Structure 1
Amino acid sequence: MTGSPIRVLVAKPGLDGHDRGAKIVSRALRDAGFEVIFTGIRQKVDDIVAVAVQEDVALVGLSILSGAHLALTTRVIEGLRAAGADDIAVVVGGTIPGADVPKLQEAGAAAVFPTGTPLDAVVAGVREVTGAIGVA
């Protein structure tokens, strides 16, 4: 890869306070050559959108364990569109029933990583979504 590393934002929207998985994914992405910005827990959708735009990220990764994945993902995607940043891809991971994966994709999620997805598959998926196939 030439130039600056691809920037990604990992965010924990809503009231979910469990961040171990998000931190592990953040570290795996960092180790794979991405520049990772981690928002921490209990973030408001508007704040996630603002940080994504301000930090000029290529991708927002949402980590959601609360069961509110459909509503929160949709709100983030709509917020990015409203901010004129619909070129920022959104992926979502966490406790997501298989039946909700197509719904998230229809809402605009570029990829969905349910609990148990191997880290190498998450990294490969983020590479594919961002076009960073050559990232080490």
Structure 2
Amino acid sequence: MSEKRIRVLVAKPGLDGHDRGAKVIAQALRDAGMEVVYTGLRQTPEQIVAAALQEDVDVVGMSILSGAHGTLFPEVVNLLREKGAGDVLVVGGGIIPDDDIPALKEAGVAEVFGPGTPLANVVQYIKDKLN
């Protein structure tokens, strides 16, 4: 019997107009054997959660550069919980000050990956959490 592939939703919440990093992460996850759905730019928390539910993902990975992570990331976590999908692993990345990371983790974001994080570290983190 084949092992279930990890399904990941890569999302760009808020008004960010740059998605190169999100696309690099999405490709690295695909190369590692995961199924990846990319939502595109300027997604609301509601749109992200709706896509996560529709696609039955194991992980929601959000990338943000705008500074709105303190509002948008916890909103996604809360909406997932409200919809009965609190078991979905939520991770984030982008330009996020180190001082903001503890509050994000307290809000339910499992891990935050900053600029320069090796792609292999992101892949391994997700695999370790879900296997």
Paired residue for 1:81? Answer: 81
How far did 1:47 drift? 0.7
The within-5 A match list for 1:1-136 is 2-131=2-131
How far did 1:130 drift? 2.2
How far did 1:8 drift? 0.5
- The residue identity in structure 2 corresponding to 1:70 is G
What is the DSSP-based 3-state SS (H/G/I as helix, E as strand, rest coil) of the residue aligned with 1:86? Answer: coil
Cα shift readout 1:19-72 (whole Å, capped 9, x = no counterpart): 000000000000001000000000111010011011100000000111111111
Q: In structure 1, how many angstroms separate the alpha carbons of the residues matched to 2:59 and 2:119?
A: 17
How far did 1:4 drift? 3.4
- The residue identity in structure 2 corresponding to 1:65 is L
Q: Tell me if the contact between 1:11 and 1:38 (Cα under 8 Å) persists in the aligned partners.
A: yes
Paired residue for 1:134? Answer: none
- The residue identity in structure 2 corresponding to 1:106 is E
| Structure 2 unpaired stretches of 5+ | none
What percentage of residue pairs aligned between the two structures are identical? 58
Segment drifting more, 110-119 vs 49-58: 110-119
Cα shift readout 1:66-91 (whole Å, capped 9, x = no counterpart): 11111110000001011111011100
What is the DSSP-based 3-state SS (H/G/I as helix, E as strand, rest coil) of the residue aligned with 1:116? Answer: coil
- The residue identity in structure 1 corresponding to 2:51 is V
Segment drifting more, 122-131 vs 76-85: 122-131
Residues paired across the two proteins, number: 131
How far did 1:129 drift? 2.4
- The residue identity in structure 2 corresponding to 1:97 is P
Runs of 4+ in 1 over 4 A off after TM superposition: none
Give the alignment's Cα RMSD to 1 decimal. Answer: 1.2
